[in-house]
Structures are given as structure tokens and as C-alpha cells.
Structure 1
Amino acid sequence: MTAGVLAAVLLLAVAADACAGGTDYGAGFWDLTAGGAERGKRPRWLIDHAMAPVWEVNNVWLIFVLVIMWTGFPVFFQTVFLAMWLPLALAAVGIVLRGAGFALRKPTRRLAGRRVYGAVFAISSLLTPFFLGAAAGGIASGRVAPGTEPSAHAWSNPTSVFFGILAVVATALLGAVFLAADAVRFASPDLHAYFRWRAVAALAALAVLAVVTLFVTHGDAPHVWRGLTHGAGLFFVIVAGVATLVTAWLLLRTSGAWSRVSAVGIVASAILAWGMAQRPYLIPRSLTVAEAAGAPATLHWLLVVTLVSVVLVFPAVVLLYRLDTRGTLEPLTDADLRRGSGPEDRG
């Protein structure tokens, strides 16, 4: 019972990381495709302002995922990280380089330095979700199992490749939708149109890729295919489809808070559909939730810690997101600092 609850928490944490972190990766995708220094100046300006308050806190979800995997399902953790150490290592390096590039490019005064850090940020934002998606595809296709030796076959198969591409396109969709809404907040109608139409293009690409990937799983990941076309997995596939139509309708009309909700619904429903399709396995046909679970005492304490974390951390993160989307967390400008340094402020 406890193992099943923690497996559900793990799936929800993966969905949260895909949506929150995916939005940041998507911003990096559009940073990469924004063009040269002059042409991409305004899109990159919006990306910097939109990401600055929240990009670090989004890593909380990834840490949560790793802690639950490592502590609650050690066999699963060992199996995945042993068999697919290379894509996961590349993803980890990408996370570090991406954060460093984003943090260092803005304060760097030399144009050449800003370009280097900007390129590191943008390229890492593209490669990291691809490798994470490829690893998820290796799990979904059942190519890893306890005792599996590291092999490129585990993450370079058809399911892995399409999962990786889907991850990149899904992050591009989230990034464009959130940036279009942020453009409204910053009173920038040109950027609103710029990102809104890119969101429409990303949504169309995601819909086509999702259908193709579904048919790929038919021959390459039959257990997941059956789960996606029956029961709870099919339910969340339908939810993702409805959310796609709603998002398209909202984007063609305008772009605001509701398009953000529906876009998040697409990605979250797709993750939940994948998780439901694998039941009762963590790795299809080789490792069930019960077989991968740690000691009962460990699981009980992990559940307690998880509940405490939800009570203490979740409301704070939600408040941060709410303040950010309302524009309350705008950074001080040079003019603000100069206004705050007069004699009357020091007295």
C-alpha cells in the first residue's frame, strides 16, 4: 500500500518537474532560435525577465523525484542509472551548464562573453530534455531491467528517440505559451504575437508527434501501447487530447492565464497517461512497484517526510508562482536603485 502511494507521488513529481522545469527549457529553446543579437534582442529580454524569479526553484521538483527514487525504490534507481548512465549524465551536465549560462550571461559586460554564455544556456536547454525523454523511452520500452549492462541500445531505440523529441517540443510549447502571457503583462503586443504564433506551431508539431509516437509504441513498447489504449491510460490520453483542443482555441483567440493552465494540462496528462500505462510496473514486464520498493520502515518514514514537505514546501512554491505571474517579483532597475539612494532614504 505504502509503495503504491509513493509510486503515485513519484509520478506526480515527474509531471510537476516536466511542467515547471519544462517551461524554462522551452524558454531556452526560443532563446536558441531567436536569431542574431539585434533580431533576438527583444525576445531574449522577455525570456530573461520572465525566468529570473523562478528558474532556480523549478529544480526542487527534480530533486524531489531523485530523492523518492533513491530512497523509496532503490532497485529502480540503480537499474535506471546503471543502464542509462550516459544520457542521464549528459542531462545532469546540461542542467548545470544551463543554469550557469543563464546566471552569467546577463551581468557579463562583454558582448562576446554574453554570446558564449547565451549559447551554453540555449543549447543545454535543448539537449537536457531530449536526453531525459530518451531515458524515459528506454524505461517505457522495457529495454532496461535489473542487471542490465550500460548500452546505447537502452536509450537510442525508436521509443527513446521519439520520447526525446516529444520532450523538446513539449517544452517549446510550454515556454512559448508562458512567454506569450508574460508579454501581455509587460505590455509588449509585438512579443505577444511573436510567442503566440510560435506556441500554435509548437502545439501542432506536438499533436502530430504524439500520434506518431503512439504508433511507434505499438511495435516497440507493446505493454505501454496497451496501457495507453485501455483503462486509466486511455482516460489521460483523452484528457491530453481535449486540453490540446482547448489550448489551440485559446491561442487563436488570445493568450493568458487559461492558455497556461490548458498547456500544463497537456503535458501533465501525457505524463500521467504514461505512468498509468505501465501499471503495475516501474519498468514494463521486469520490475513491479512492489519488487522495486525499499524496506517497509524506510517507505513509512519517506511517506511522512513527503507529507511534511508537501505541507511546508508546496504552498511556498505555489505562492512564488502566483507572485511571479502577477508581476510582483519584478527586479529593481538602475533607476529604482538611484531613487533609493538619496539623502532622504539614508536618513
Structure 2
Amino acid sequence: MPDAFGELEGNDAYAVLGLSPDATDKEILTAHRRLVFEHHPDRNGDSPAARAHTTLLNAARHVLTADRAAYDRWRAAPPAEPDEPAEPPESADDPWSEASFGAGPPPPPPNDRPSADPWDAPLNDDPDDDWDYYEQDSYDRDTYDRADDLWEEAVPSAWSERPPPAYPPPYVPPPRYQRQHIPPTYDRGAPPRPYPPPPPRQRRSGLGCIATLVGIIVVTLVFGVRGQSEVTRVPLAFGGTWQGEIRDTGDAKAKPWKITVKLVAGTTEGTTSYPGHGCKGVLTFEEADDDFLVMTERATGECADSRIRFTTRRDDLVIDYCGVDCDRPTWTGTLTLK
């Protein structure tokens, strides 16, 4: 089988897939898909036999789909007979043909053996060899002098007496330049002039201090009386007769009450009346400002005493009945000037 079909390992591709040689390409792919699904290692416990069979199935599909024509021609050709190895030619004068294999040659008789080992004899046995002298123990290298020593008559030349060359000293790099820090000088100009001394304090007489104190007391008394007269009277904006209705802030279903308030500007009193309920009240000034007025009501009849705050809003007057805290009135209403 050629190397291109060696992956089949001697198996027939059609037999591996269970097909006939006239099978179509579609039948080849279908049979390969079915057999791979059946023998896949994932379905057979990842056994070595399942892996080898799946590899053979893939090789058969590859041969029949990629090179089917060449495989069919190889499959139809008769198998070639194996060649027999040629025998080597016989040599006419083979020295080993008459050789006898076995033990070595017999040892010589005892009388023919040498009396001594030839390697035990000294190697330097030449009587004229000068080197034997140096190997003797009596040789003294310090006293030995040869007659033909050529170096005894040597004359030194100018080159041999020449002094050794003077090599230059090693190169030492110069130190790195370091820039010196020079602090700058600034022209600050002339020194500042000294401040002039403070003028001497003048002694004041006791009459001046008394006059200043009297003036402060007079101003305080005048403006204090004036201010008290302004805040203890009903402001001009609140003067007149006002009529309207008031409602209970805690009961939205309660009916409103009609009320009439009379305030005289510049005084500290006023009156209230509630038509249809048979009660009246007398107002006494408590505090006032430009936009509000607080008065205390002393009621007669069925009404109870209360604290009333009046506030101006454009042309109307807002009335709130309150206790200590006027931000949470119990009754409230809007009055108009009659």
C-alpha cells in the first residue's frame, strides 16, 4: 500500500464503512456519520478501541472523498510479489573458509619459554647516552658546567640594555563642573522712614465729661418717651369700623359668626360686638407695629375672653383669635372697612 493510503493500516476503505465500491459520495458521508456516532469514544467510555476505530473511520472517509480515483486504481491492481534477497557471491580465496573455531593455539612446551621477561630490562641501556648522566643521583645541577656552553660568550647588545618604555600615567577624568550658587542681590532702596510720634494727649476737664453724660441721658429720655407713645396707641391704618365674619378653624362645618370691630387711631381701646349672639367685648391695647396690632378682649355675656391679633392686608383687616401663640388661631376671618 503506498504511503498515501498507509493510514488505513491494511484495511479496505469500503469494508470499513460497510459500503460497496459503487457507493455514491452521499452514501459515503452518511455511513461515516452513522458509524462515528455509534463508535465515538464519548459514547463508549473513552476506550482505546473506540478511539482507534473512530480514527480508522475518518481515514476511510478521507481516502474515499479526497483521492477516490487513485484508491480505486490501486485497489484494482494485482498485488506485487515481494522480492527475495540476493545471496552474496562466494569468495574464491576466503581465508576464513578453512578456519577452525574453538580454543587458541596450544601453549609452547616448558623448555621453550624465555627465562626472564624482556620488558624488565632498562630502556636506557645505551652507554653513550648523555641523558643517563642527568638521571643519576650524584648529578649536581649547580656545579655542572658544560664546556660547550654557548651563552657564556654572549655579548649584550644595545637592545638588551635599553630601559623599559615609560608608559603614560592612567587617564583620570577631571572633576565635573559644579555651578556655584550665588544669591541674587536686590536693591531694596532706602530704609522706610519712622512713623511720627503720636501727639501728646490733652487732659480734659471734669466739666466736659459731665456735660456729655447729661446729653446722653436727655436724648435717651426724649426718644424713649416718644417711642413709647407711638407703640402704645392704635396705629392710623387700623382706625375705623370693620365688619365681617369669623370661622372656627377646628370645625369646618360650623356656621360663621358676624362681627363688628371699632378701633380709634391714637387711643388704647376698642370694642367688639357679635350680632345674633348677644355678647360684646372691650379691647385693650397690648402691642403694635406698622402691619399688626394685638389687643386683649374682655367679653360680656356668653362670649369668653380672648387675645386678638389684627393684620392689614391691602384694604382689608385680618382678625385672628389666639391664645399665647398667635400662629395657631382658633377663629379667623377677614373684615372690611364700613
> Normalising TM by the smaller chain, what interval?
under 0.3
> By percentage of residues, which structure has more strand?
2
Higher relative contact order (CA 8 A, sep 6+): 1
> By percentage of residues, which structure has more helix?
1
Larger Rg: 2
